[in-house]
Structure 1
Amino acid sequence: MGGSGSKVTWKHNVPSPADPSLKSVMSEPLDEVKFSDEAFWKHLGALKREPLPVPLFAKALGVHVAKHEVTDRDDGTFLVTTTIGGYYGGEVDVNFVHSYDPDTNTWMQKCDRDPGLQKVSNAVGFRLHESPRTIEMWAVNEPARNSGVEVVAGLKGSVGAAIYSLSEKEVDVDAKADQPSKDGSGKLVAQSGPLDECIKSPAQFLETAFQAVKEGKGVPGIVEFAVIEENSSGVKTKEVIDTDGNGTLKVNYMHHVFDIGSGTAASTTYKDETYTTALSAWHTKVHSGPLIIEMFNESFPVRHAGEDVVRNLAPQVEQVLAKAVEETAASG
């Protein structure tokens, strides 16, 4: 039933038994593994009541669980609120709502932030099937627009790198979160202060940024980089990122498009090497008079059922399954 001590062999991006038009992660048949539905859901519920785990690399930066509350609701669902401290110098609440549907034998976990703690609503589903005995799981991201402290950090990093490339001076870029865009749309952006003393024109900044992305510069944790396709206004790249400093690798397929004439750029992350399913995009606008740079991040609605879902959810399910098997055997 799988190697390396795992209890389950998983198949990713396969048709869901409930709706073949949707992709899910499915276990290989578990008919020889004896466990009851009740025991499985009981231990999954217990696991989901625990505090949100903080990665070791984040703990080293001072990120910690400041508060943890579980609230049982009258409708049978429960709310888990974990307050994360040390997040860009402040605190952020992460809210999970858990529910179980006996008609479809499905557990749903809905959260108001993504794993990077940006405000992106998402859902994770777990479903048990009887014949054959299998476990199904998937994740879905909802559309969202962000211009908070995470985007400010990205703006400060990219603008600071461009200024250093132009002048070899390290500058602490002044920037604020959630500001009304200077384009008059009323939409919120992360926004720099005036940069005329450091950058001559919108074109100079965008040309410098374009050169940087073609060389794979300024990407934290990058261990491998390749240019897939390039033309005069854009470049497609493949980036392999060490996400935690311990060898947990993630592959980003990026398409960077620069429009010097309009003072804009967009960097879109795609699901795979086909560049067909967009996951998210960073948008940049450079204004002149004074020269001010704005950014926001856009997340697109996508269902996930790939290796990342296996990596993130399989350890939880296998932990729950082991306890469910033990309890079922003891009660039998």
Structure 2
Amino acid sequence: MSNLDLRPAPAVCGGRADVMARPVRDLLPAKTVPLGESTVVRRLLPSLGRRMVGAWCFVDHYGPDNIADEPGMQVPPHPHMGLQTVSWLHEGEVLHRDSLGSLRTLRPGQLGLMTAGRAIAHSEESPRGHLPLLHGAQLWVALPDAHRHTAPMWEHHAELPQVTGGGLRATVVMGELDGTVSPATTFSPLTGADIALAAGASARLPVRPDFEYAALTMSGEAEVDGVRLAPGSMLYLGCGRAELPVRADVDSAFMLLGGEPFEERIVMWWNFVGRTGEEIAEAREDWMTGTRFGEVRGYDGPSLAAPALPPVPLKPRGRAR
């Protein structure tokens, strides 16, 4: 998924200085952003309160939207560099195309994972004759320096491992939870899990004290560490926990995102993650001149043009603001 802001703000983030080494309960504000012709997303990372959670550097939540009489998601071909995109659906379907030649329709409970590495381009759209509802999340993971120039690749995982018990079902999307490991490729210590809670369920999730975590509510009204969360809200939890109490009075679902605090400083602008402003400018030029990122074939429409670079140099501002 692309960042379709016409004037995307550059940010320098990463490093451990602003990581909360203790448990906290910080509710992160969402920014409403239009995505294509008929989809609106709630952008939760980067936010006014925080830029990263572990290596997770971008989180959009969208829907549930009734798109029965709408085109649905229509995101034209656009580039990525230095990150992984994680596509996760609760309802509906999304057709993925990329410059490697990948073509796959994603459905609920299936992981679409694209490792951009040094350069890739892709598009995302609701298929013709699509289902009436669309609901999901799009997330990015920053690649560490040792792997950010890796060859691009696409993975589709139709089945993922689960942890169950006491009215809770956790699908391990990325990384590891309670000793259960996702088959998805990761490049840094991560947790990404979709947690479903039945009405009346109460549990204590085992988590790692050296990880920082956040909870993104997908549906219902889950209570995480005593904080009741409406759909589309995100709670930053900091580090230092060995377990996380969760409960729900109604059927609910949330995504638990976590990871080892990302030590490196990164520059993120538009759809690129790099290390310097010069590197970002070079990537923008490569996209606009048709080099390096390849071609997405089969999408009915033009590619996205890159926004203009900001007139001021990038300034380091840390993980939090």
Query: Which one has a bigger Cα radius of gyration?
Result: 1
TM-score class, shorter-chain normalisation, is under 0.3
TM-score, normalised to structure 1, is: 0.27
TM-score, normalised to structure 2, is: 0.28
Larger strand proportion, structure 1 or 2?
Answer: 2
